[in-house]
């Protein structure tokens, strides 16, 4: 009885406030309708305690999987809307207080790559405050990309060691350096390893054909910040290189301001981190590289983060198959 909806509502004098509406799909040809399901009893119990219950009686449908499949889309939409509301409320309630670390050296944990083909080492490192045009962030979520593995295996010609890998992350801004205006402490951001300066004199940013902005590309390749120095020190005070301008396999990292893509705080960082590489790569392959047309037929090899994003992008672009 403790799991039966009718019994639960019968025992109540007030509605369950967590549920603004309850939807029930019921086939009128269901063989269990009169003896066991009895939707009219549920409706009566709901009316008694003021619970908003809507029973949708579907003529001719029985208790089969076809019945479930026929109305699953509307139910997914129904629950997605309410789950989003809960997620929005939960994320909006999360507050971060960084007042004790602003301007200070932060000691935190990081997975340090000491050399090619060597296992990552969890170490306590020092993360220096951001300088002019820089942003220090707290890394809340990370995703592993094949490029991280490629570099760790020693195949990346720009791979420098020791370094902190990682470039797919969801972060919260801890503090900002002088001159930073696009983000403030508490903002949620996605680090970008190919950021755009969007300056009028940048021919790459102004071109519709590419976004390979060279503003900080050279310093990224050398494993340092745009001013030529690092923000990471190990326990012995020795420098640790940056990786792809991100280095997100650390509890805190420092980014160039243009590397910070600000997102809505309601968006879950453990999912949005994939936009740092996998999802954006897949969508870009469809929209920018292939320039997919409506009614195209698409072949996708591999269904990791990139492959799944290709399918999503293809659907959004109007692919027929």
Q: Residue 110 and residue 166: Cα distance in Å, rounded?
A: 11
pLDDT at position 1 over 60: no
Closest CA to 247 of 156, 164, 160: 164
Half-sphere exposure of 62 (CA within 13 A, CB side): 3
Over residues 243-269, the mean pLDDT reads 95
Q: How confident is the model at residue 256 (pLDDT cuts 50, 70, 90)?
A: very high
Q: Residue 285 and residue 170: Cα distance in Å, rounded?
A: 22
At 137-171, the pLDDT tens digits run 999 999 999 999 999 999 999 899 999 999 999 99
Find all residues with CB under 8 Å of 279, minimum gap 6, and list them.
305, 306, 309, 312
Q: How confident is the model at residue 18 (pLDDT cuts 50, 70, 90)?
A: confident
Please report where in the chains the tokens 């009566």 appear, as a residue: 44
At 266-296, the pLDDT tens digits run 888 999 999 999 999 999 999 999 999 999 9
- Report yes or no: 173 and 185 within 8 Å, Cβ to Cβ: yes
pTM, whole model, 2 decimals?
0.78
Classify burial at 11, counting beta carbons within 10 Å of its beta carbon; exposed 0-12, middle 13-18, buried 19 or more.
Answer: exposed
Q: Which residue has the higher pLDDT, 265 or 118?
A: 118
Average pLDDT of the chain to the nearest whole number: 93
At 49-94, the pLDDT tens digits run 999 999 999 999 988 888 888 888 888 888 888 888 887 777 777 7
Q: What is the pLDDT of residue 75?
A: 85
Q: What is the pLDDT of residue 2?
A: 67
User: ∠ at Cα 171 (168, 173), nearest 5°?
Assistant: 140
Closest CA to 171 of 186, 183, 188: 188
Q: Which residue has the higher pLDDT, 85 or 204?
A: 204
Q: What is the pLDDT of residue 89?
A: 78
Find all residues with CB under 8 Å of 148, minimum gap 6, and list them.
165, 166, 167, 243, 249
- Report yes or no: 170 and 266 within 8 Å, Cβ to Cβ: no
Q: Residue 12 and residue 7: Cα distance in Å, rounded?
A: 9
């Amino acid at each position: 009885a403790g799991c039966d909806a009718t019994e639960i509502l019968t025992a109540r004098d007030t509605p369950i406030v967590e549920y603004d509406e309850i939807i029930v799909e019921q086939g009128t040809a269901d063989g269990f309708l009169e003896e066991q399901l009895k939707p009219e009893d549920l409706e009566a119990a709901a009316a008694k305690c003021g619970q908003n219950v809507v029973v949708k009686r579907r003529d001719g449908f029985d208790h089969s999987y076809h019945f479930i499949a026929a109305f699953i889309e509307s139910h997914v939409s129904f629950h997605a809307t309410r789950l989003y509301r809960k997620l929005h409320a939960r994320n909006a309630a999360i507050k971060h207080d960084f007042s004790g670390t602003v301007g200070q050296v932060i000691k935190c944990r990081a997975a340090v790559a000491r050399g090619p083909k060597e296992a990552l080492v969890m170490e306590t490192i020092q993360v220096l405050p951001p300088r002019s045009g820089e942003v220090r962030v707290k890394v809340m979520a990370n995703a592993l990309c094949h490029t991280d593995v490629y570099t760790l295996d020693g195949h990346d010609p720009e791979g420098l060691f020791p370094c902190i890998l990682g470039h797919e992350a969801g972060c919260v801004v801890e503090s900002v350096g002088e001159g930073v205006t696009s983000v403030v402490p508490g903002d949620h951001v996605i680090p970008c390893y190919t950021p755009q300066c969007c300056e009028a004199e940048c021919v790459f940013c102004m071109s519709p054909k590419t976004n390979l902005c060279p503003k900080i590309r050279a310093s990224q390749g050398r494993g340092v910040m745009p001013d030529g120095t690092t923000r990471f020190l190990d326990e012995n005070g020795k420098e640790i290189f940056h990786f792809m301008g991100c280095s997100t396999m650390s509890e805190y990292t420092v980014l160039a301001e243009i590397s910070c893509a600000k997102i809505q705080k309601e968006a879950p960082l453990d999912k949005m981190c994939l936009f740092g590489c996998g999802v954006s790569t897949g969508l870009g392959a469809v929209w920018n590289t292939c320039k997919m047309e409506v009614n195209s037929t698409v072949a996708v090899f591999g269904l990791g983060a990139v492959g799944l994003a290709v399918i999503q992008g293809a659907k959004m672009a109007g692919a027929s198959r």
